[in-house]
Amino acid sequence: MVATIYEGIAPTSNESVADTLFDKVWKRHLVTAETADTPAILYIDTHLIHEVTSPQAFQMLRDKGIPLRRPDRTFATCDHSTPTTKPNEQGEYQFHGEQERHQVEQLQANCKEFDVPLYALGDKKQGIVHVIGPERGITQPGQTIVCGDSHTSTHGAFGALAFGIGTSEVGYTFATQCIPQRKSKSFGIEVSGNLNPGVTAKDIILTIIRQIGIGGATGHVIEYFGSTIRALSMDERMTICNMSIEAGARAGMIAPDDTTFDYLKDREFVPRGKDWDCAVKDWRQLYTEPGAIFDRKITIDASSIEPMITYGTNPQMGIKVGEKIPVNNEQQALDYMGLSEQQAMIGQPVDVVFIGSCTNSRISDLRDAAKVLKNRKVASSVRTLIVPGSHEIKQQAEQEGIADIFVEAGAEWREPGCSMCLGMNGDIIKEKQFCVSTSNRNFEGRQGKGGRTLLASPLTAAAAAVTGRITDPREFI
């Protein structure tokens, strides 16, 4: 069971000024206030690590003779470099190369030496770090959570302040369980109204990024709220918070509510019995108070959102699936993508479809894809990879018959991992191939040298897999 969430750190202010959710979590973890010359020091409740950004930090501890301060608040998994093909008959995994194998083996050795809990490759609890944290109940409302990974903002869906850190900061957190940090400004994004059929959480966040831009939230922590956000499941909320970083935000947050508590109840690391009741009572205080003022705020009408697709080399370059590519002086990106201004995206041929990543690899994402693929076949010209976010999700999809739908459709049903989101494990696309991907980044070469990434929802990705081209997913609903 997880130790006390705040380790005795109490709110530091009794000011009468109304607080945002971000303010409240910040104050609960403030060890030393920032000054004009120095950042604040924040206590960190939970440190998540993986095989890519942790080796140098472990070595720093060795070099300086420093123990890992809170191994009980550090959790490790293998995900970035892990193969998503099944192990051979001897139970051995076939790595893309020796570097990837070494990264995984080094994490195992480091965790053993420093007594860090590890969900190792093949463990039934292993998976993508931002999937298994919530799945195991490690992620909880009101926490501060860090990880050497950009998309740590995912955990903000639970009302946590969660953000990515660099390798040197991973070492600092290992040594002190604290981190220096300047307080960000606050950015309120209200989404209200009813979503139309075929519109998903992925479409919401791509719409937001299109509107405010990839630098629109730089220096801010976003809080998402409104009737549309409240109606979302936890899986959907995680999708939205996951991509906050793609708008430049330090983090994204959603206030916890009954949906949050229902998701967490009885998971492995959450409190039980009376401790659970006390925790929920505390978590209910984590909301933005009436009268609290955001440094910036926008409102979006959910009924105006449609299925989205990107066309360029950053997530801001997105349009409604039925629109044409705008005239906007993005020629370098369009040249890379092999597309042109005023070109319709509907009908654009695709070569690969990838459904997975820490953005869209949860059970509800797989169910959406299965709705489209059921009793249909993947186009013969399209390679389709479907990669669950964890072994638990994989098992659930197999029990529900979802995996059978994928296999019968002609898709590749893989083992858990980050996979083609960044291609570190060898799951890549070829030069000039178009890939409709449910991941979070479409930078040049992200999925393979010269590869062309089109970000979309699982519904839109599955529709493209069936037709072999960009298709409005609402045709399948």
Residue 216 and residue 247 in contact, taking contact as beta carbons nearer than 8 Å: yes
Residue 367 and residue 398 in contact, taking contact as beta carbons nearer than 8 Å: no
Q: Is the pLDDT of residue 393 over 90?
A: yes
- Hey, what are 159's tokens? 């009302």
pTM confidence score: 0.95
How high is the pLDDT of residue 68?
98
- Hey, what are 472's tokens? 């409005």
Cα 264 to Cα 64, 133, 267, 271: the distances in Å are 39, 11, 6, 10
Residue position matching structure tokens 């994928």: 406
CATH 3.40.1060.10 boundaries in the chain:
3-18+184-255+289-303
* Choice among 90-104, 227-241, 428-442 with the minimum mean pLDDT: 90-104
* Candidate CATH numbers 3.40.1060.10, 3.10.440.10, 3.40.50.1440, 2.40.110.10; the one for domain 3-18+184-255+289-303: 3.40.1060.10
Q: Is the pLDDT of residue 320 over 90?
A: yes
Average pLDDT of the residues of the chain: 95
Residue 261 and residue 267 in contact, taking contact as beta carbons nearer than 8 Å: no
Summarised one tens digit per residue, pLDDT across range 441-466 is 999 999 999 999 999 999 999 999 99
Q: Which of 345, 315, 340, 314 is nearest to 328 (CA)?
A: 340
Work out the end-to-end distance of the chain between its first and last CA atoms, rounded to an integer number of angstroms.
Answer: 43
Full DSSP string of 24-35: HHHHHTEEE---
Q: Is the pLDDT of residue 4 over 60?
A: no
| Beta pairing, strands 178-181 & 296-301 | unpaired
How high is the pLDDT of residue 10?
40
The three-point CA angle 239-240-245 to 5° equals: 105
Q: Which of 149, 199, 185 is nearest to 170 (CA)?
A: 149
Burial (0-12, 13-18, 19+ Cβ within 10 Å), 262 = exposed
Q: Is the pLDDT of residue 9 over 80?
A: no
Query: How many C-beta atoms surround the C-beta of residue 68 within 10 A?
Result: 22
310-476: which CATH topology? Aconitase; domain 3 (3.30.499)
How high is the pLDDT of residue 3?
31
Residue 192 and residue 302 in contact, taking contact as beta carbons nearer than 8 Å: yes
Query: How many C-beta atoms surround the C-beta of residue 110 within 10 A?
Result: 22
Percentage above 70 pLDDT, the chain: 97
Residue 276 and residue 246 in contact, taking contact as beta carbons nearer than 8 Å: no
Residue 51 and residue 81 in contact, taking contact as beta carbons nearer than 8 Å: yes
Helix axes of 391-399 and 402-409: crossing angle, nearest 10 degrees: 80
| Beta pairing, strands 251-253 & 220-225 | parallel
Q: Which of 201, 215, 224 is nearest to 245 (CA)?
A: 215
* Choice among 8-12, 83-87, 170-174, 225-229 with the minimum mean pLDDT: 8-12
Amino acid at 329: N
Q: What is the CA radius of gyration of the chain?
A: 22
Q: Is the pLDDT of residue 6 over 50?
A: no
Please report the beta strands in 267-409, taking only residues with DSSP state E, as ranges in sequence order: 296-301, 308-310, 318-320, 352-355, 383-386
How high is the pLDDT of residue 26?
98
How high is the pLDDT of residue 13?
47
Residues 46 and 444: their CA atoms lie apart, in Å, by 33
How high is the pLDDT of residue 16?
56
The three-point CA angle 159-254-320 to 5° equals: 150
CATH 3.30.499.10 boundaries in the chain:
24-181, 310-476
Non-local CB neighbours of 376 within 8 Å, separated by 6+ positions: 409, 466
Beta bridge pairs of residue 318: 310
Please report the beta strands in 138-184, taking only residues with DSSP state E, as ranges in sequence order: 144-147, 161-164, 178-181
Q: Which CATH class is domain 24-181?
A: alpha beta
Q: Which of 123, 94, 84, 130 is nearest to 107 (CA)?
A: 123
Q: Is the pLDDT of residue 223 over 50?
A: yes
The whole-number average pLDDT for the span 194-220 is 98
Q: Is the pLDDT of residue 1 over 70?
A: no
Query: How many C-beta atoms surround the C-beta of residue 331 within 10 A?
Result: 10
Burial (0-12, 13-18, 19+ Cβ within 10 Å), 323 = middle
Residue 351 and residue 384 in contact, taking contact as beta carbons nearer than 8 Å: no
Residues 348 and 339: their CA atoms lie apart, in Å, by 9
Burial (0-12, 13-18, 19+ Cβ within 10 Å), 388 = buried
